[in-house]
A and B are shown apart, each in its own frame.
Chain A
């Protein structure tokens, strides 16, 4: 029995999709839907639009769950919580947790290479999102955790995020750098020594020194990190986790979404639900003769409009058909073009209604 199964654990929904399709809003609406259904639900947002963050009350506070009150006039039998991911703080907390003592933690936190890894290395945000998710999942405080993913080109960046640090630690060059003794360095094959020298030549000797320093300081914590990453990965690949693909009905976003679907499949994940945002409604067309008769009247602009919006609707249908054939078992939920962006809990509730 894996540790993920041993724990009752919260259900996890991971929202994946191309950038600019409303993933964060969808994630928040799914959490709200859960809270209305009586669950203690928490949404983990990554870089939300300011008004959405303000609406959730997390505009200024980050990294710890914040309770969101029910929208006026609506009933919420469960609880809605929101957290805005702060990757840097999450990583710092993780270092403090696994350090052998405050001294080791302080040394690592001050190392420039650590600061680069935690603040700027691509993949760290994904890794920390998974870490946050795992922390919340393990806390037992929630029944449902909905997580937004960074706008990555690769769904794998997220799915494989826990492997990120392991990959870094397993990198051949890093392993060489971690060999702490001079004897070890002497024992390096000539090719590897050349490599180190080349890195020093390109990026400066200080860089190599800092990197060696970081990995030396990191010693002893590695196993804790690895074990935790493995457990987080188990949760992501267990039955507790389901995936929601978020897209819009445009060809380019559907292209990207289908690409994500293929990649997820390779990683053993499949989206059970597809949320299609910004759908235009479809309308009954006018007979050609009627449309012609109205040309030149005060209604001609309405006729043109109907034709144009019908063209948009049929475009949408053909794109949605592609999604349906790629994911035949998935439930496809359409959310219409809303009259305004989600800027308060009332409009978030409106989105949640479409996801019911």
Chain B
């Protein structure tokens, strides 16, 4: 399928995976692919309560050559002449509660309720409540996109919590819809469930690395998410070492002969370096290929590969490189019937 088809399958793309697999990077790359295609993308990060200063808050803006922690107000990370834009913001359960109360005519009490810790009470009594409030906010943004409000984003990329929590995140609205005995929360939960289970509105993009434990957990996560009724879009295989065509034999004597034929004499230390590094690479390549194959067998979902970057930090250059790779990977996938 073309990149535009991939990007417009659903208005909300929830990016999730095991901790450390690169969810935020992938969110930034998807948004960058959107901007290349003239779309307005909004990356939404979910913050834990009281986590205003977490280091990962900077990670996304660094991809775009900036250095700013995300806040509740959206910031512009990139824009182009085709009308494409990348915006980013963070959402926290307590700010979502305040906004919810404002919209429901309880403005006067809202600040006080939140500062007094009432969110803790509500969250204790109805544990999925913070998730419903957060997803409720996302749903509001999605509705704005659906009706074509002028400032609405075309694509909302939700940089979701790590897998374990993400499942709860996606299950919570179902639980709250069942448990909350009526009233606005129940209604909110039902509307969120309606969004989560409509593939034209919302899909999940899984992220893994081609390593054993992340692959195993991705397969488990995929099954659990499918159980909640949310559609899986594809699985990103992130940070795969580019496959080098290494010589079949890594015997030092043989390498020395090849070098000599090319007019170079390798020292013992140089040979040892080449051989040792070659062995590590061959072993890593083989292990990663095996995991990619296992993922394909156990999870029948389009795989999109992103390469490992050999640079000390991920900035605009790496963002472009990764976006190129995503573009190629997406183009290689089959068109799916809606």
Contacts and interface: CB of A to CB of B under 8 A. Distances in A.
B74 interface: no
Interface stretch (B142-150, B239-247, B330-338): B239-247
B278 interface: yes
Contacts of A298: 247, 258
B185 interface: yes
A20 B19 contact: yes
Interface residues of B, number: 79
Given A116-B126, A256-B55, A302-B278, A202 B184 contact: yes
B216 A202 contact: no
Interface in B276-326: 276-278, 280-281, 283-284, 287, 310-314
A38 B314 CA distance: 45
B274 A306 contact: yes
Nearest to A197: B109
B124 A113 contact: yes
Interface string B147-164: 000000000000000101
A211 B125 contact: yes
Interface in A143-158: 151, 153-154
B236 to A, nearest CB: 15
Contact of B122 (A203, A283, A303, A337): A203
Nearest to A48: B213
A122 B119 CA distance: 12
Given A195-B112, A256-B55, A302-B246, A211 B186 contact: no
B183 A290 contact: no
Interface stretch (A85-93, A128-136, A167-175, A236-244): A167-175
Nearest to B283: A339
A210 B125 contact: yes
A121 interface: yes
Contact of A211 (B58, B100, B121, B162): B121
A299 B51 contact: no
Contacts of B183: 201-204
B121 A153 contact: no
Contact of B168 (A21, A120, A305, A337): A120
A283 B277 contact: yes
A297 B262 contact: yes
A154 B318 CA distance: 29
A281 B278 CA distance: 12
B228 to A, nearest CB: 16
Contacts of B168: 120
A252 interface: yes
A107 interface: no
Interface string A301-314: 11111101111101
Contacts of B269: 284
A202 B55 contact: no
B113 A195 contact: yes
Contacts of B310: 308, 311-312, 315
Nearest to A259: B55
Contacts of B19: 18-20, 151
Interface in B73-126: 100-101, 104, 106, 109, 112-113, 116-118, 120-126
A293 B20 contact: no
B121 A174 contact: yes
B1 interface: no
A171 B247 contact: no
A120 B21 contact: no
A255 B270 CA distance: 34
B129 interface: yes
Contact of B264 (A206, A290, A301, A339): A290
A171 B262 contact: no
Contact of B116 (A116, A195, A252, A256): A195
A299 B259 CA distance: 7
B126 A173 contact: no
A210 B86 CA distance: 45
B48 A204 contact: no
Contacts of A290: 264, 266, 270
A255 B53 CA distance: 12
A18 B21 CA distance: 12
B246 A293 contact: no
Contact of A302 (B247, B264, B314): B247
Interface string A250-284: 01110110110000000000000000000011011
A194 B126 contact: no
Contacts of B277: 283, 302, 305-306, 309-310
A286 interface: yes
Interface in A203-247: 203-208, 210-211
Interface of A: 18-21, 47, 49-51, 112-113, 116-117, 119-122, 151, 153-154, 168, 171-174, 177, 191, 194-195, 198-199, 201-208, 210-211, 248, 251-253, 255-256, 258-259, 280-281, 283-286, 290, 293-294, 296-299, 301-306, 308-312, 314-315, 318, 337, 339-341, 343
By Cβ-Cβ distance, the 10 closest A-B pairs, closest first, are A19-B19, A20-B20, A120-B127, A20-B19, A255-B55, A341-B212, A283-B273, A207-B125, A293-B264, A204-B181
14 contacts: A51-B216, A195-B112, A195-B118, A198-B101, A199-B125, A201-B106, A203-B122, A203-B125, A204-B182, A207-B181, A299-B258, A302-B278, A312-B310, A314-B312
Given A202-B122, A253-B20, A306-B273, 9 more contacts: A120-B128, A153-B51, A195-B118, A198-B113, A283-B273, A296-B262, A299-B247, A311-B311, A341-B211
